[in-house]
Structure 1
Amino acid sequence: MRNKLFPASVAAMATAMVMGPVAAIADEGDTLAQVRERDMLNCGVNTGLVGFAAPDANGNWSGFDVAICKAVAAAVLGDTSKVKYVPTTGQSRFTALESGEVDLLARNSTWTFQRDVSMKFSFTAVNYYDGQGFMVRKDLGVTSAMDLDDKTICVQSDTSTQMNLADWFRANNLTYQVVHVDSNSEGEQQYMAGACDAYTTDASGLAATRAAFADPDNHVILPEIISKEPLAPAVRHGDDNWADIVRWTLFALISAEEYGVTSANLEELSKSSNNPDVQRMLGISDDYGAMMGLDREWAKRAIAASGNYGEIFAANIGEQTPIGLPRGLNALWTQGGLMYAMPFR
């Protein structure tokens, strides 16, 4: 009897091990199913940061992060217009994600240990390698962050930026007076009103903020970068399939640039490319979408939404835009940067 029962018990245990996590995910919510049921992707974005996420006078959103939302909506729902943009502040963004108010957070958020492990978010992949900097008025006469001793600094509350600021000043034996703000718009207002000598946030955010000024040439972004800020779209723990969808949508955009797939030649290459990776990515030779509950053309639609990663960068924050950011670390790995997608195979 023992020999007959033992295999059965092992089978039962194996079934429980397999079904347990699936049941847990179902209890927590299948994000893909929820998005499809409402026929809308709820995407958490910045309250308004030109180049990254900002609405125009008619309420139409655009920007580098917005393009990620559109790509995911295209992959999952087949329509870039099926996105509800939920403006979030530095304080509200993670609450909105944790509570389920948003399905995806694409909002200049740094991937850190505590946010990943303790707050239980999954940062899917880095979409912008950044670092914290400082902006001052040119007439202040400051040319280095080391000259900010005993100056007033505007910083967003409850952010890694605030912690970095304290760490850097302490490490350099400098003092400062802090002016807390709740959002980038408030930081801009306080800085412009003269409430602080300097404003600190991610260097990309400083460039975007300065670009919106009437007199951008009168403001200087200091050369020091005092931290690593890998910015990445985030989702909740517990739904690995949804994390895979967001992660591989971003990888498709990055890979498309590497393989020379653009919004202009996408249709042509989907019929004629001999590159095995392109064939797999675009669903020509293999149905990779089925592994995530999507159809075989999910990546093709994601790329068509706003172009590949390089096109998105150039159109929203690149050197030919008012923000004027160079590719730098965000160049492809083949061009001296860190932008590197996992292989489609």
Structure 2
Amino acid sequence: MRTGGVKVRTAALALIVTLAVAACGRGGREDETADDTAAQTPTEAPAFNSPTLQTIKRRGRLNCGVHEGLVGFAYTDNRGQWRGFDADFCRALAAAVLGDADAVRFVPLTTSQRFDALRSGRVDVLWRETSWTLSREAQEGIRFAGINYYDGQGFLVRRSLNLSSAAELNGARVCVQQASTSEPNVADWFRARGIAYTPVVKANEEAAREAYAREDCDAFSADISALAAARTLLTNPEQHAILPDVISKEPLGPAVKRGDEAWTSIVRWTLNGLILAEELGVTRQNVGTMAEESRDPSVRRLLGAEGDLGPMLGLSKDWMKDAIEAEGNYGEIFARNVGADSPLDLARGLNAQWSQRPAGLIYGLPIR
């Protein structure tokens, strides 16, 4: 009898364990099914709302951070008016956001000031020869909205040195700007090739250029666009040459404060609209006619003749028409300030449209 009792109790215990396991299995499947159902439940997209845009509209002015003085990109003319590639993009953005290209306050910033000015809200957008890098997005509290100039770092030298390559700068003194990508780029390039050099570090581009002019260094290293600008300011520009070596990638573009995704999108799509306008043949001169007469759906959407793309961003229907009327399309802004129609006379190169021959990297995202 005692043996039989043990068997009965053992069998009962085994049955309880089996039922419990089965129940757990059913419960797990039910939970998984519930999770799958929840995952498939449609949710509404969050509202597109930009606190920065609202602040700009209340203020009635865009605050745009620019270089304190770089020929071709951001500088004041003899009447005190801001000119240049970056300055024109600031005006185009003001026109897109406020309908008035003159509703912009230019805030000149040094290299060390620029990111703090964004974080503190002193400027709404930074359009100042700033390279898009991972560390800057991760550590500086900013977001890049796009690329409007593909650049690279190079070397400016005196023609009298008869150099054909930067590899011949063994033992040279090289002027670079402090607190920029230029300083570590030069160090990496020379170290990777086992070439000795002496860095001459200066507080800003102007100081580095002046040191080079005084022959305190044998070469000046910076973004090639900045070197082209610096050369125009030297006493005898023709006596200086930019070496063919490009030692880094420097994708330059507008940056905004992290935390306002909608404002990032507004800056991004304004830039892309100017790029797309060149691709579609929309210019400062014909934009009005194109808005009224074009039958191309891409042109009509770009200029607000159909669709409500501007209002999706919290802007007017003809936001891009206003931007293009202000300063022209990307190609016009490039040619006038840094390209063939400017003292810098920089080739389009990588900054040519993707559809041109030879093709560049400028590619407007579809506005639809």
Structures share fold, TM-score greater than 0.5? yes
Q: Indicate yes or no: 2:366 matched with 1:343.
A: yes
* % identity of equivalent residues: 48
Report how far residue 212 of structure 1 moved.
Answer: 2.5
Equivalent residue of 2:267, what SS? helix
* Residue number among 104, 109, 115 corresponding to 1:94 in the alignment: 115
Distance 2:337 2:134 in 1: 29
Q: State whether residues 91 and 182 of structure 1, in contact with CA within 8 Å, keep that contact through their aligned partners in structure 2.
A: no
Q: State whether residues 95 and 326 of structure 2, in contact with CA within 8 Å, keep that contact through their aligned partners in structure 1.
A: yes
Q: Indicate yes or no: 2:305 matched with 1:323.
A: no
Q: Indicate yes or no: 2:76 matched with 1:55.
A: yes
For these two proteins, the number of residue pairs brought into alignment is 327
Written as runs of structure 1 = structure 2, the 5 A alignment for 1:1-345 is 30-335=51-356, 336-345=359-368
Deviations 1:45-80 (A, max 9, x none): 111111100011322001001111001100111111
- Between 128-137 and 174-183, the greater mean CA deviation after superposition: 174-183
Distance 1:106 1:116 in 2: 15
* 1:3 corresponds to: none
Q: State whether residues 32 and 242 of structure 1, in contact with CA within 8 Å, keep that contact through their aligned partners in structure 2.
A: yes
Q: What is the one-letter code of the residue matched to 1:204?
A: S
Q: What is the one-letter code of the residue matched to 1:57?
A: N
Larger Rg: 2
Q: State whether residues 89 and 182 of structure 1, in contact with CA within 8 Å, keep that contact through their aligned partners in structure 2.
A: no
Distance 1:113 1:263 in 2: 35
Distance 1:297 1:18 in 2: 25
Report how far residue 319 of structure 1 moved.
Answer: 2.3
Report how far residue 18 of structure 1 moved.
Answer: 7.8
Q: State whether residues 90 and 156 of structure 1, in contact with CA within 8 Å, keep that contact through their aligned partners in structure 2.
A: no
Report how far residue 185 of structure 1 moved.
Answer: 1.4
Q: State whether residues 213 and 234 of structure 2, in contact with CA within 8 Å, keep that contact through their aligned partners in structure 1.
A: no
Q: What is the one-letter code of the residue matched to 1:234?
A: A
Q: What is the one-letter code of the residue matched to 2:110?
A: T
Distance 1:250 1:306 in 2: 12
Task: Tell me the TM-score normalized by structure 1.
Answer: 0.91
Distance 1:187 1:84 in 2: 28
Report how far residue 143 of structure 1 moved.
Answer: 2.2
Report how far residue 122 of structure 1 moved.
Answer: 1.2
Distance 2:111 2:345 in 1: 24
Distance 1:302 1:117 in 2: 31
Q: What is the one-letter code of the residue matched to 2:120?
A: S
Distance 1:86 1:190 in 2: 26
Q: What is the one-letter code of the residue matched to 2:143?
A: S
Regions of 4+ moved over 6 Å: none
Deviations 1:92-122 (A, max 9, x none): 1111111111110001100001112222311
Q: State whether residues 47 and 87 of structure 1, in contact with CA within 8 Å, keep that contact through their aligned partners in structure 2.
A: yes
Task: Tell me the TM-score normalized by structure 2.
Answer: 0.85
Distance 2:76 2:176 in 1: 23
Distance 2:176 2:207 in 1: 10
- Between 88-97 and 40-49, the greater mean CA deviation after superposition: 88-97
Deviations 1:105-146 (A, max 9, x none): 001100001112222311111100010000011122322101
Flag structure 2 segments of 5+ consecutive residues without an equivalent: 1-33
